[in-house]
């Protein structure tokens, strides 16, 4: 039986890396959770352990009409390919879920009078000319480059979200999420941390693009989820950066992974992809002051927690291959 005061959250892309952790977070707080996913990049394995709780999965393409019966208090829109490997393979789908999918999710939020949170990205800043990146920076994006399908989809999604806020008075939030890592990232995700971890654990060369001097800032998943939950319940309607302000070069990240894993792998270099950002570091002053939030998990500690998950899944994959 459902309590009248039980909160109900709907997470689009809820079977993905970020979405699955959000689903679990809200269930742990006694909420009812509905996950919408078409499993193009997410997987039912990420939420299998939630099946006996107050949890429902709807297998659906978000660009179609959405209907959920009953009250929905919160809608968190996380449906989208998120790694360069994914959105380069699925460019049209990425644009559609950022535009049509966002429109459908906002329409559901308006029909249910739900609080709406958009998962935007630091990629809206493009290859930034301002460093670190603040929310009032408009970005330096190549709209017709290979990464433009993701960057512009998210920029459009932000514009659509603010239009619903201004026109319909919808209670909306926008999280600009910087690089995040942790358990449940796909082994073949293609982004730096899962790629380096998998390579290190398997004794392969760690492939660094360019000279590795480009910088990134890596936030552990539990820190990000806490920031998202605070933003969801806040009175912030303009975009808010969520990420770890500790800036590392990609080469430093690779060297730290070799240290944490104890791997004897070497580092090799590949050509830098087109429009790859040279720097990436969030200014989280707004999150600190308005949400009273900042990351707590250090990079090495987060890597150790992630490594355990990767080791377990790699072992399972090897065992499965041996049986077949």
Residues with active-site annotation = 150
Burial of 92 (0-12, 13-18, 19+ CB in 10 A): exposed
User: Strand 267-270 relative to strand 74-77: parallel, antiparallel, unpaired?
Assistant: unpaired
DSSP state of 83: S
Rounded to an integer, what is the distance from CA 312 to the centroid of its chain? 22
Q: Cβ of 87: how many Cβ atoms within 10 Å? A: 25
**Coil, strand or helix at 270:** strand
Evaluate whether 219 touches 175 at the Cβ level (below 8 Å).
Answer: no
State residue 44 phi and psi, 5-degree precision: -60, -25
* CA distances (Å), origin 6, targets 33, 72, 109: 10, 10, 18
∠ CA 138-144-146, rounded to 5°: 100
Evaluate whether 265 touches 206 at the Cβ level (below 8 Å).
Answer: yes
**Coil, strand or helix at 311:** helix
Q: State whether the Cα torsion 265-266-269-270 is positive or negative.
A: negative
Burial of 266 (0-12, 13-18, 19+ CB in 10 A): exposed
Q: Cβ of 48: how many Cβ atoms within 10 Å? A: 11
State residue 269 phi and psi, 5-degree precision: -120, 140
Evaluate whether 60 touches 101 at the Cβ level (below 8 Å).
Answer: no
């Amino acid at each position: 039986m459902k309590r009248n005061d039980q909160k109900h959250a709907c997470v689009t892309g809820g079977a993905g890396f970020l979405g699955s952790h959000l689903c679990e977070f809200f269930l742990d707080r006694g909420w009812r959770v509905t996950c919408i996913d078409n499993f193009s990049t997410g997987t039912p394995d990420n939420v299998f352990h939630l099946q006996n709780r107050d949890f429902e999965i709807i297998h659906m393409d978000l660009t179609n009409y959405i209907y959920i019966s009953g009250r929905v208090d919160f809608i968190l829109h996380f449906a989208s390919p998120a790694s360069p490997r994914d959105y380069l393979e699925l460019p049209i789908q990425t644009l559609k879920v950022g535009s049509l999918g966002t429109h459908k999710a906002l329409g559901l939020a308006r029909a249910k009078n739900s609080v709406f949170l958009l998962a935007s990205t630091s990629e809206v800043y493009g290859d930034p000319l301002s460093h670190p990146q603040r929310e009032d920076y408009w970005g330096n994006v190549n709209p017709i480059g290979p990464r433009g399908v993701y960057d512009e989809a998210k920029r459009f999604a932000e514009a659509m979200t603010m239009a619903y806020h201004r026109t319909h008075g919808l209670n909306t939030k926008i999280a600009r999420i910087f690089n995040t890592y942790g358990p449940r990232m796909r082994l073949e995700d293609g982004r730096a941390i899962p790629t380096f971890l998998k390579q290190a654990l398997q004794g392969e060369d760690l492939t660094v693009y360019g000279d590795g001097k480009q910088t990134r800032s890596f936030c552990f998943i539990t820190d990000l989820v806490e920031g998202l939950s605070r933003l969801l319940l806040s009175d912030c309607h303009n975009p808010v950066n969520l990420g770890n302000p500790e800036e590392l070069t990609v080469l430093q990240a690779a060297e730290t992974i070799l240290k944490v894993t104890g791997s004897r792998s070497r580092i090799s270099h590949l050509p830098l992809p087109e429009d790859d950002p040279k720097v990436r570091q969030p200014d989280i002053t707004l999150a600190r002051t308005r949400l009273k939030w900042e990351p707590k998990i250090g990079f090495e500690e987060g890597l150790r927690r992630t490594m355990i998950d990767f080791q377990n899944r790699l072992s399972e994959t090897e065992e499965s291959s041996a049986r077949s």
